[in-house]
Structure 1
């Protein structure tokens, strides 16, 4: 694999698109940890230093060339790598609409809306780091440790890897009482972008096929149904609603999926479409649709990890952004149950993946996302919403360990620039389903999304036919 790794590099086409999206606010990954004892900052610094040595992409910086209108990743030229900086803060003052939320939730939303990656910042000679860390001291002798990463270097697999490796490193360092061998760094090596690792022939599509697919996506996007928008003007920020189910409720939903031979993402997508369809019928023609239209088309984006299918194949240890999207459109049929719809959605996704659409359509979807950013009026009410929901093919499974005083954690990415109305981040911890639903505010309200999530829960648990 040595011949497929280089020192620094221009960003790939899909990564270029994400960097453009970050200027709008999309593309920030957050890992937020609640601990009940003071974090040993010396040990944490050592663990982060070793993490960066193992994954130098985390120590890279993003730069922007105005002349080339392109973004690049660079590696600092000093050895050893500069120490990771942890900033300390007091918790942000809660606003009126978040007084009932936990400190962990409030801090996550606060960090999710900090964007250091604007083009003026990236155009500086030194660039901007892709990885930031903060520690918030809470009044009740608890602490929140937050890591904020640019999505170009951190897809969901990477985020899970960062958390798991960091916990192992902290355990190793504490067992050795602070001393740890830093090992040999693979300094200066950054893996190629996803398009440069496509299997031969799988990403190819003729120019006419590209044109037809782009036209099809564009025309269909004008017919997509959306959630009712609450406020379409004013600056956007990201907010989150959390849903936690019991072991019994989780087991019931997973068993229903197993009986039908589908994955959880199919059920979550179907419940979201059903809930949105119910909301739209109840709101009449508030979105400009005629009351007599009973069949509306909803767009679902499903993200799939391509690592195992690339050439050469990558493992979860290869940090970066290696997910691809498959866009599908679905209509709720009269008399259809959520599980009927879930099977249709899952089958549609599976067939698209077997047809390699996660490779062949990547450039088309990136092109349309960029066009939406350049021409917001092409989207309903200039909302920059490109789909109803975004889900992941695989659910993360993890056990919440109490070591180091870790009580709880949350991880998700922002969506308020351009993208879906709802981004779904699902995890099973100790047999319990824990889901974060990220949405753009004030386009959607916290009350609206809370009701939407409760309706999804009701649909999944009560529709057993």
Structure 2
């Protein structure tokens, strides 16, 4: 196949990637990308398009193998994609467990979000399914292992699928000359194909004395005891990740960005502020306020050495965990400015690199000893979000191949936040996938929070 990246050598998983093996098994980190078509899409058509994708991105045709206590990516040279087709066209289900009307493809996406990867090795990292839905619609669902693909990777994957479908529908089956293919081939020639994030941190930027690691791990643990959380509904029943979608209009997005510029506030600062204000208002904390733990995921490809192309598919996010105090009377833009400055200062001090090992260790401890978390809930913060929204720009090709809608999100019902916000910028509008753990929290509670967050972002 033209444009295929040949990579057969195995690579040991980095510490962050290996951490995700345990996290995915616990219920957190299964990433889903769903593409809804307004037409019937054939299995052969999808397999050819996905063959182009895994040909350009070797990590997606890898499996995770275990040797002793260590994990390795084993990548096949041969490009082969098999798609399972599931017929749901005769099923008329549009209500969730609480009787709320839902779009069928959202419910199917939730099912896949809660479908675990196998625990027996080798473990695949890329599992596609094609669903036949009512009204002659089709839904392509791709389940991704977090160790192999972060949220930024999903935009690359979707764009590549759409481009391949469009090329083939136009009679152009060759993919030689594709920009992503060229970038990955160049990386292969330099011997730096898909390194772990730890292996490409700029020299000196992750340095921290051994004793300081211990102090910071203890410090994170002690500070977390001050954190307030959302009230739990059911801490005993089996949990699953649930999805709520939300969006601003183009006009509201433009106004928000304009106000961010006027106030000198970043988009991640304003999103965090909206979520924290929504939580404080829901809990009626009054003027006294509460301390909340908030986690921001930073996309690091352009911060590494050597830098990686934005189209590189792998896990290259670093987490920043901060404690933010707020009260109900605090002005929204004051809180947004504090959130923005707090995270920007942490990045300036390289906390995303120096604390990477500490946060990985805390994540492992929470999974091993759930009783260390409030009510054994495995909640480690009140919310998590992205530092920058993932930009999804498919152009007119999407409509040309019948794409009606699409979304990406990750499961969080293992170890994770009370509410995870996945922001995307699509066609100049800010959109979100909100994920929460059920029945730890009810859908009605989370819908109120989502509505409040969107209110702050569009009206305040």
TM-score normalised per structure 1: 0.89
SS of residue paired to 1:140: coil
Deviations 1:56-76 (A, max 9, x none): 1100001234xx323221123
Partner of 1:26: 28
Structure 1 48/243 Cα, relative in aligned 2: closer, same or farther at 3 Å?
A: same
Whole-Å Cα distance in 2 between the matches of residues 33 and 156 of structure 1? 15
CA pair 90-97 structure 1, distance change in 2 beyond 3 A:
farther
Maintained 8 Å contact 2:292/2:382: yes
- For residues 444 and 135 of structure 2, what CA distance do their matches in structure 1 show? 28
Q: Counterpart of 1:440? A: 437
- Aligned to 1:80, what secondary structure does the other structure show? coil
Q: Are the structure 2 counterparts of residues 128 and 182 from structure 1 closer, same or farther at C-alpha, using a change threshold of 3 Å?
A: farther
1:394-433 Cα offsets, whole Å, 9 max, x none, are 1123346312111111111111110111111112222322
**Any idea what the Cα deviations from partners look like across 1:60-93, whole Å, max 9, x if unmatched?**
001234xx323221123xx533x21111113375
Distance 1:181 1:304, change over 3 A: closer
Q: CA offset at residue 309 of structure 1?
A: 1.5
Contact kept? 2:280, 2:328, Cα under 8 Å: no
Q: Distance in 2 between matches of 1:332 and 1:234?
A: 32
Alpha-carbon contact 1:7-1:190 (below 8 Å) kept: no
**Is 1:241–2:244 an aligned residue pair?**
yes
The corresponding residue for 2:372 is 378
Among residues 377, 382, 387, which one is paired with 1:388 in the alignment? 382
Q: Is the 8 A contact 2:37 2:403 kept in 1?
A: yes
Q: What residue is the counterpart of 1:157 in the other structure?
A: 152
How much has 1:220 moved relative to structure 2? 0.6
Matches within 5 A, 1:21-420: 21-65=23-67, 68-76=68-76, 79-81=77-79, 83-91=80-88, 95-97=96-98, 99-118=100-119, 121-122=120-121, 127-176=122-171, 179-180=173-174, 190-281=193-284, 294-333=288-327, 335-399=329-393, 401-420=398-417
How big is the shift at 1:276? Answer: 1.0
Alignment match, 1:289:
none
Counterpart CA distance in 2 for 1:316 and 1:270 is 28
Pairing 1:461–2:455 present: no
Give CA-to-partner distance per residue, 1:252-301, whole Å, 9 cap, x none.
2222212122222211111111111122227xxxxxxxxx9923110111
Q: Match of 1:243, SS? A: strand
CA distance in 1 between counterparts of 2:307 and 2:99 reads 44
Deviation at 1:40, TM superposition (A): 3.5
**Equivalent position SS for 2:238:** coil
SS of the residue 1:238 aligns to:
strand
Does the aligned pair in 1 maintain the 2:290–2:327 contact within 8 Å?
Answer: no
Q: Which moved more, 1:156-165 or 1:359-368?
A: 156-165
Q: Deviations over 1:92-114 (max 9, x none)?
A: 75544365110121111111000
Greater mean alpha carbon deviation, residues 319-328 or residues 389-398: 389-398
Structure 2 CA distance for aligned equivalents of residues 71 and 101 of structure 1: 39
Q: What is the TM-score when the length of structure 2 is the normalising length? A: 0.90
1:7 aligns with 2:2: no
Contact in 1 for aligned 2:253/2:458 (Cα 8 Å): no
Q: Secondary structure at the match of 1:231?
A: coil
Write out per-residue CA displacement over residues 352-373 of structure 1, whole angstroms, 9 at most, x where no aligned residue.
0010000000000000010011
Per-residue Cα deviation, 1:126-165 (whole angstroms, up to 9, x for no partner): x121101111111211111111110111111211111111
Q: Is the 8 A contact 2:155 2:391 kept in 1?
A: no
| Contact 2:96–2:102 under 8 Å retained in 1 | no
Distance 1:189 1:266 in 2: 34
Secondary structure of the structure 1 residue equivalent to 2:412:
coil
Provide the C-alpha distance between the structure 2 equivalents of 1:158 and 1:147, rounded to a whole number of angstroms.
12
Rounded Cα–Cα distance in structure 2 between residues aligned with 1:299 and 1:181 = 45
- State the shift of 1:50 in Å: 1.9
